[in-house]
Every structure is written in C-alpha cells, then in structure tokens.
Amino acid sequence: MRDVAYVALGSNVGDRHALLAAARDAMAALPGSRIVAMTEVEETAPLGPVPQGAFLNQMVALETTLEPRALLSALHAIERASGRERRERWGPRTLDLDIVAFAAQRVTDAELVVPHPELPNRDFWQRELAELESTVKS
C-alpha cells in the first residue's frame, strides 16, 4: 500500500544542518519512497527535563510503500548511521526521526503509535503537519 508518512526530523548535537540533510537523502533513498514535500528548518528549544542545546527541526512528507514497522526500523537505522545512541530519554541527540502521522493509517502496538502520542504537545509539529497536509492534498 502506498501512503504518505509525515516524519519529524530533529538534531541538537554536531553539524545539525548536515545531519538533517543526510537524513532527508537517506529517507528519499528508502525502497519505494520519495519525499514529496518538506517544511523549512527551524530552531526550537529542547523539550523535557535534560539541559541541552537548541534543536533544528523539520518535517517531511514521505510517500512510501513501506509498512509502518518497516519504516520505523529504517528510520532507526538512519539514526544509528548518524551516530545516535539511545542513552537518556529526552536527552541530546545527533538525529531524531519520528513518524508523526500517516495520511491513511493508524498504528497502535508496543513499538509504534501513530499518530505520535506527543503530537498534541508540540505546537511546531502541529503547524508543520498542517502545512504539509495542505501541500500534499493540493
């Protein structure tokens, strides 16, 4: 099934712009996938209790034939390739890739919940998602 996944990208460690660019390239190279729209990159304050630097954030609309869990696995591989180490919840990271929503699917299991449960708490995700949805539907 072909669907559009809305994927949030974030980075607050290292060359943030280069990490986001490399992530976009890697996502576009996934089997049966292409980026059909993206928001501008913006800087946001970190969320959570851990002191850390500001994030660069962006969201892409990724048209893909990958099933949700296969896409999640591929995104985790892209994170690892960027040097991401999952040490501390809400901690600093080279790259964070989150599936925020799908155009036509919902997922709820132990590994993946879509729409992302943090969507109501992130104004910038809501704004970016609305922007992309209107662009993709046009």
* CA distances from residue 132 to 38, 88, 124 in whole angstroms, order as listed: 7, 30, 12
User: Would you call 86 a catalytic residue per the annotation?
Assistant: no
**Options 2, 86, 87, 98, the catalytic residue:** 98
For the four alpha carbons of 78, 117, 65 and 135, in that order, the dihedral sign comes to negative
**Options 16, 93, 109, 122, the catalytic residue:** 93
**Options 89, 96, 109, 122, the catalytic residue:** 96
Number of H helices, E strands in the chain: 3, 7
Q: Copy the structure tokens of residue 114.
A: 């879509």
User: Would you call 87 a catalytic residue per the annotation?
Assistant: no
User: Would you call 84 a catalytic residue per the annotation?
Assistant: yes
**Options 84, 106, 122, 123, the catalytic residue:** 84
Runs of H (alpha helix) within the chain: 16-28, 68-81, 123-137
User: Would you call 93 a catalytic residue per the annotation?
Assistant: yes
Q: Which residues are catalytic?
A: 84, 93, 96, 98
